[in-house]
Structure 1
């Protein structure tokens, strides 16, 4: 087992306490401040070394607090929880909920007091946010159990769509799923399959845009041995045959070549499939679900899609609205993916009210796929000791973590020498600008430390020195 030095242990504990969302401080037996964490420094907006010169009774005399709670703790020798008004260096009044717990020595006398301070408004916000999340998780859980754990939604648009699909899923009617890229068309197709009488067999799926025309035909219809150069000696069963007794899902059917559209149409109408190189058609019992991210009526006008095939496919239209048009689905989806990726990567994360508000007001041009990838990314890059993600770097919502000016490509960093300041003062200003930029872009002190290749405790101390917040 690796030996850890006292210095390393100190830096580790300092990192842990500095990444706590609550203000934490330690008093000695006379009320002198002997430790404050980064959240405490931010709350009072007073540098660490200045706070550590304070006694709590002096803080009262200087008008920083309206009551000395530790006086009760010294008298009662037990934990005291009460409200307290504090005033930061700018005179702003903040109502806090404060918990102070004594640590007793062998004689039963108070040796230290540990204090934890939290903003009352923030605490109330977290309380209601937690209640809402609890109810959301319950709603998601009930819907997922009803829907074979496939769908997460809360919007009236999706509720109406699912109600219609529940009625038609047990039938063999063709369904055309329409929606922008990333809206979850394949997930919806799988849901329909699971709600059908064909659920005991796996749904057969193929992306029509993923194959060239010649290969797509052989994949769909199969071939007899010796049908063409490179064909398997035993021949091959096509995916339509494989879907016998099940569901065939044709994704991006708008990419289906015109030459194959007629053959697909005949297969749908006759439920007969004929392998390449064979003169014997075979009866196949399958249910067809197709999906498109284009407006097929426009494709018909452009003569890239057959009208008769469109009408055959579009017996039951299932249109998935983009995520921007159903904002009430955003939070349930975030909670679902957050829970999924926290379990996958062994993390514990939640989004604070401000961060969640940013996400709910984002347009999500990539729809559910973009949201899913975003949640996985932020679970991975946010500091492991940060439980509540309070802010979202704007760059993360457009797929970039670094702006061009900070990507190391020689662009102008924006640092300018100020002749009125000394070299040390200029260096401090440059250092602050660099750290502040990277912290904001990466969302945590830990991630910034990794990018800048320094110890996390160094970043924590610099953030406190320059009053940099996440």
Structure 2
């Protein structure tokens, strides 16, 4: 008999205390008769606190109903899952009987919190594995995976479909063997393992099937390749991969340019308030040339919007985030022109700043210079401007050294530069440098369909600015639409502002129009009160406007576009007013 057998009654509690399972014995009243250390720890009680004689109903009140039921019914509980604080346990509870009477309950339980965590993690891994499996098999491209020794581990259905090779013929086989047997003509996996970097190749498999194959190495913590993932795409149906890629690039480029042009036109239409096809074509041309970053010459009468169009060209150019400097050559005195344009060094002349001064050309470096009224620039300044365009340099007043500058030039004029060249007041070489892309802006009288939207937009701005609620009577709009506006948009702005200020009522009527519009010959005839009702007067105005427009235009379609009428409607009105085509 060994020492344990001899002393078993005395060391039995010690044996039970070494058990990882909690053991608890209560009598039929719930009084704790025995417990081991594991039970106390699971209950969250300090080891040095004695629980003998305590009632389980007070220590673990949530457990007492089940224990009491066992005492009353004699039915044991097995694998009962219980949460005690943050601990999850599995308990087996059996009644203790003596002489046919239940005298207590023995409960043996185990902390399974770690197992629960492990199960949860395992389920997470299993779910992730299923998701990755679905993704792997759902890929449109073929996927082929080898280990770091070029042995095939797995491949997806797409790879089988693309190559005509099956998993049973490939899995477990080495890429060297597959190449030797000419199953494939070239292995990207072997190149990746040799060069230790991603590789893309064109590959031929079994006949004429052409594939683009990209192999990517996967490194372990020791920077050794342990996997090679290969992506396979069938390009057999393409004429050539290079051609398709180039076509795609060209399509993307054209699409991007079209979007830019569309956005630019939308922006310009809102900013300049354009409705006429003539001006829409002007804007399209301006946006197209903006991307080219070349010299532009804007032509047109004074007040047609050359400055605004120059601003749009700048905003649509690659230089849009750099300076946009406007220079009106007609307002700077000749004596100051050189120093204003090109700047000066300190002490260059009497009254010069001691620090010197940067010229407008230098300030515009990287951006755009808009030279309005370029025809007013004297010949000596034309020479210096030519240097900026051709050499991209200029010389400050009082300096012996040239300065580099990078600007794009937009020039504008209302004068006939070719005539000035013949008269010797404008340099021919500068003209051709500026006139790379000429854009002629039509006068307002040549695009009368823009008058109404322009007028309403200008009125809206002045109402907001002056906090008024002016509106234009229909007959007033008709009179404005028939006026030639020799001063173009600038004159229209002037007239609308004057009417807004001088009008006594919120509605601007015929009486508020300037006399030059009411008396203008050759536009809309002036009707006096004895000529009939307002309806008759307006009919006469309509007849005169249609007659003038039809006689000026080359076709009914052109006249209908200018009048913003459907051709059928124009024909009906011509018939009504007996106007011949």
Shift of 1:255: 0.5
Deviations 1:319-355 (A, max 9, x none): 1111111101100100110110011111112212211
1:286 aligns with 2:371: no
Deviations 1:99-127 (A, max 9, x none): xxxxxxxxxxxxxxxxxxxxxxxxxxxxx
1:360 aligns with 2:481: yes
1:210 is paired with a residue of what secondary structure?
A: coil
Aligned partner of 1:197 among 298, 312, 318: 318
Query: For 1:412-423, what aligned pairs fall within 5 Å after superposition?
Result: none
2:330 is paired with a residue of what secondary structure?
A: helix
Shift of 1:240: 0.6
> Could you say which residue in structure 2 is the equivalent of 1:222?
343
Shift of 1:214: 2.7
Question: Gapped runs of 5+ residues in structure 1?
Answer: 1-141, 401-470
Asked if 2 retains the 8 angstrom alpha-carbon contact of 1:143 and 1:152, the reply is no
> Could you say which residue in structure 1 is the equivalent of 2:398?
277
Structure 1 or 2: more strand by fraction: 2
Distance 2:354 2:332 in 1: 22
Query: For 1:6-405, what aligned pairs fall within 5 Å after superposition?
Result: 146-147=267-268, 149-383=270-504, 386-393=505-512, 395-397=514-516
Cα pair distance change 1:174/1:308, threshold 3 Å: same
Cα pair distance change 1:398/1:233, threshold 3 Å: farther
Deviations 1:158-207 (A, max 9, x none): 01111111111122100111111111111111111111121223311111
Query: TM-score, length-normalised on structure 2?
Result: 0.43
> Could you say which residue in structure 2 is the equivalent of 1:82?
none
Deviations 1:340-392 (A, max 9, x none): 00111111122122111100000111100000111111111112xx3332324
Cα pair distance change 1:143/1:347, threshold 3 Å: farther
Shift of 1:314: 0.5
Distance 1:330 1:365 in 2: 13
Shift of 1:313: 0.2
Asked if 1 retains the 8 angstrom alpha-carbon contact of 2:476 and 2:513, the reply is no
Deviations 1:197-241 (A, max 9, x none): 212233111111112223100111111111112211111111110
Q: Which has the larger radius of gyration?
A: 2
Asked if 2 retains the 8 angstrom alpha-carbon contact of 1:177 and 1:292, the reply is yes
1:294 is paired with a residue of what secondary structure?
A: coil
1:198 is paired with a residue of what secondary structure?
A: coil
Deviations 1:247-271 (A, max 9, x none): 1011111000011111111111011
Asked if 2 retains the 8 angstrom alpha-carbon contact of 1:185 and 1:291, the reply is yes
Asked if 2 retains the 8 angstrom alpha-carbon contact of 1:148 and 1:191, the reply is no
2:412 is paired with a residue of what secondary structure?
A: strand
Cα pair distance change 1:399/1:271, threshold 3 Å: farther
Asked if 2 retains the 8 angstrom alpha-carbon contact of 1:144 and 1:152, the reply is no
Deviations 1:264-296 (A, max 9, x none): 111110111221121221211111001111011
Asked if 2 retains the 8 angstrom alpha-carbon contact of 1:152 and 1:332, the reply is yes
Question: Gapped runs of 5+ residues in structure 2?
Answer: 1-262, 520-581
Cα pair distance change 1:195/1:319, threshold 3 Å: same
2:439 is paired with a residue of what secondary structure?
A: strand
Distance 2:274 2:417 in 1: 26
> Could you say which residue in structure 2 is the equivalent of 1:136?
none
> Could you say which residue in structure 1 is the equivalent of 2:102?
none
Distance 2:278 2:446 in 1: 9
Cα pair distance change 1:275/1:215, threshold 3 Å: same
Distance 2:265 2:285 in 1: 17
Asked if 1 retains the 8 angstrom alpha-carbon contact of 2:269 and 2:275, the reply is no
Instruction: Say which structure, 1 or 2, has more relative contact order (CA 8 Å, 6+ apart).
Output: 1
Shift of 1:144: 8.1
Distance 1:349 1:189 in 2: 31
Asked if 2 retains the 8 angstrom alpha-carbon contact of 1:148 and 1:194, the reply is no
Question: RMSD of the alignment, in Å?
Answer: 2.0
Distance 2:271 2:321 in 1: 16
Shift of 1:393: 4.4
1:218 is paired with a residue of what secondary structure?
A: helix
2:454 is paired with a residue of what secondary structure?
A: helix
